[in-house]
Chain A
Amino acid sequence: MPFGRRNVLLALLAIGAIVPAFANGYQLFVCNLVAIYILLAIGLNILVGYAGQLAFANAAMFGIGAYATGLLQVHLGWPFWAAFPSGGLIAAAVGTLLALPALRMSGLYLALSTLAFAQATQWVFLHWENVTFGAGGFKTPHLSFAPLPVDKSVGLYYLSIVLVVLLYLFGRHVVTSRIGRAFVAVRDSEVAAESLGIDLLRYKALAFGISGFYAGVAGGLYSALLNFVAPEGYDLFQMIIQKSTIVVGGMGSIAGSVIGASIIILVLELLREVKGMQEIAFGALLVGFVLFMRGGLIAVLRRYVRGWEEPLRMTPRDQAQALAQPEARPSAADK
């Protein structure tokens, strides 16, 4: 399967790894942005695509991660390396709490209530001026990768790539386990999931928490990338961009999230040249996918190229690896 998922993604990773060698500052910035949106898309896809919770709070989680990472540095003088993971965990905690309304609501009602929550966070960013610096936003402290011999933009880029690889693998492993199957069970039939002993609150909270963590980590990286945090980066348009990454890539697919995020960000940046075209082309793209390609690009890949299917359990290849480690296999004597 030369063009299977594994090979294609590894090739993309190899290209990604050598980008800093030939890219100019702007190109590196865009590539870093792609990495950040891949994290956002994977997290959102776990929540919406796998667990089936139509939530609109991901941009707010992204903002909470960015604000927490920035403010912990500015107000408390924490180093980036402490503030950044804390930002991810804070977003995960807030996300987990958001599961409470999701226990009683679904579909459009959940969408509306999470949207209300997102607007409330906007309001806090704007009006809690003593802490958040209001509409003008604030500058984050300069990030240094010393003693590593890289400047900030290259260092941050590699940090983002490493996190993308780690969190991609984490996400893949979660969705191919009993946890991922519980998510899909909750999505496809809540009554049947419960009848099998799957606790709805627990798994909704887990999905919200995981997606909050991904968004929070992405927010921390984004604040460091821009060196600046302001409310309008985390508004409704941000949410629409994120939603479209998973619509274009494909719901219920981790690999699709990677593809969708890359394509959306590259298209948006390419269209930046042509004033006014961005919104039009973006809208057309979305409508096109919703009308003609419901499953997203991943559905097309799965159909025409071997090796892109994503079963909800360990692949035979994973199993072979597990068996290859002798201690992992219960010996005949044990039985």
Chain B
Amino acid sequence: MSAPLLSVGDLHISFGGVRVLQGVNLAVDRLEIRGLIGPNGAGKTTLLNAICGMYRPRQGSIQLDGASIVGRKPSDIAQLGLGRTFQTSQLFKGMTVLENLMTGLHRQTVTGFLSAGFCLRRGRDEEMRTEEEARRALHFVGMSDFADRPATALSFGQQRVVEIARTLIGDPRIVLLDEPAVGLSINRLTELDALLRRIRDQKGVTLILIEHVIRLVMDVCDRVTVLSSGRVIADGAPDTVRNDQAVIEAYLGKELRARHSAS
């Protein structure tokens, strides 16, 4: 196997005196779907934000495809092909669904403000290609009928899906998903499961998934990393992790673990 697409080495992050991440290591291979789980406050979202460039680590390395991305601006890291979605919907509220998707193509397009303002043909052609591509991407996630709806008129689950599509359309190599299943019904969950697989298989995108819906994680992930109190306490195939004593202890506490293993 070749070198990992994303590797994090000995990452430390503190806010004030609170040490949120204490030496996290993570290596994600190409075309993997990696689950990232752990109790509340374990530092999952912090890790994700650090990878995206929103926080500057105190110590440690982050490499995307062999190149260090520590200290670079979030927009530069996105340009390198790292996409993400957020825990709460971050769709652009003043736009329609289609326009949100078109914005996702920002890094793939080049029209400057002068060619846009003077309506040069280059810009108009690119604009039409952008719209076509956005419509195709909406079709891919089965949301074509909602193209002209305002982003705010969608249900919670629909907003999630549009956000994923908006990230995917920019053709990223790796996407970090922060709790995509929050508040989804069982039916929607099955759809999401299938969608994630399709994203990996058809688009060739590597995925990292923070999720509390354990069913989804165990089902769809190739490998699961468990964080607790800023440290990696387990890393392996879903079944191995599920039965790991340290993991059960982190989720349930020592006493319950005793009862859990007794039963």
Residues of chain A touching chain B, judged by Cβ–Cβ distance below 8 Å, are: 169-171, 173-174, 177-182, 184-185, 187-189, 191-200, 206, 210, 252, 311-314, 318-319, 322, 325, 328, 330
The A-contacting residues of B in range 41-56, CB under 8 angstroms, are 52, 54
B102 and A197 contacting across the interface, CB-CB below 8 Å: no
Choice from B83, B102, B113, B121 contacting A195 with Cβ under 8 Å: B83
Interface centre among A169, A199, A318 (most CB of B within 10 A): A199
Task: Tell me which residues across on chain A come within 8 A of B235, comparing CB atoms.
Answer: none
Q: Which residues of B contact A170 (CB under 8 A)?
A: 117-118
CB contact between B95 and one of A184, A196, A210, A328 (< 8 Å): that residue: A184
Whether, in the assembled complex, B74 has its beta carbon less than 8 Å from a beta carbon of chain A, the answer is: yes
Known: A195-B83, A312-B95, A322-B121. A177 touches B75 (CB 8 A): no
Tell me the dominant secondary structure on chain B's binding face: helix
Distance of A192 Cα from B162 Cα, bound (Å): 13
Q: Shortest distance in angstroms between A257's beta carbon and chain B's nearest beta carbon?
A: 16
CB contacts (< 8 Å) of B121 on chain A: these are 322, 325, 328
A188: chain B residues within 8 A (beta carbon)? 91-95
* Interface residue from B78, B92, B107, B118 paired with A189 (Cβ < 8 Å): B92
Interface of A is mostly: helix
What B residues does A181 contact at CB under 8 A? 92, 95, 99, 102-103, 106
Cβ of B84 < 8 Å from any Cβ of A? yes
> Digit string of B115-134 for contact with A (CB within 8 Å is 1, else 0)?
01111010111111011000
Known: A174-B117, A182-B103, A189-B90. A314 touches B124 (CB 8 A): yes
Q: Tell me which residues across on chain B come within 8 A of A322, comparing CB atoms.
A: 121, 124-125, 128
Q: Which residues of B contact A313 (CB under 8 A)?
A: 98-99, 102, 127, 130-131
Contact count A vs B, C-beta below 8 Å = 131
Task: Verify A191–B90 contact, CB threshold 8 A.
Answer: yes
Please list the residues of chain B having a beta carbon within 8 angstroms of any beta carbon in chain A.
Answer: 52, 54, 73-76, 78-79, 83-84, 86, 90-96, 98-99, 102-107, 109, 111-113, 116-119, 121, 123-128, 130-131, 166-167, 170
Whole-angstrom distance between the alpha carbons of A322 and B79 in the complex? 30
CA distance A285 to B35 in the complex (A): 56
Q: Is the CB of A173 within 8 A of B116?
A: yes
Residues of B close to A184: CB separation below 8 A: 92, 94-95, 103
Name the residue of chain A whose CB is nearest to the CB of B116. A177
Q: List 14 A-B contacts (CB under 8 A).
A: A174-B116, A177-B111, A178-B103, A184-B92, A184-B94, A188-B93, A189-B91, A191-B74, A192-B86, A196-B78, A196-B167, A198-B75, A199-B75, A313-B131
A171 proximity list for chain B (CB < 8 A):
117
Complex: A294 Cα to B118 Cα, angstroms: 32
A264 CA to B167 CA in the complex, in Å? 42
The reply to whether B103 and A196 contact each other, CB–CB distance below 8 Å, is: yes
A174-B117, A319-B128 known; A195 vs B78 contact (CB < 8 Å): yes
Cross-chain contact A314 with B127 (CB below 8 angstroms): yes
Whether the pair B92, A197 counts as a contact (CB closer than 8 A) is no
Q: Which residue of B lies closest to A192 (CB)?
A: B90
Q: Is the CB of A177 within 8 A of B78?
A: no
Across the interface, do A192 and B117 meet the contact criterion of CB distance under 8 Å? no
Docked Cα-Cα span, A95 to B167, in Å, equals 32
Residues in B neighbouring A179, C-beta threshold 8 A = 111-113, 116
Chain B residues in 8 Å Cβ range of A187? 94
Q: Given contacts A179-B112, A196-B106, could you give 6 more A-B pairs where the C-beta distance is less than 8 Å? A: A178-B116, A185-B106, A194-B74, A195-B167, A197-B107, A322-B121
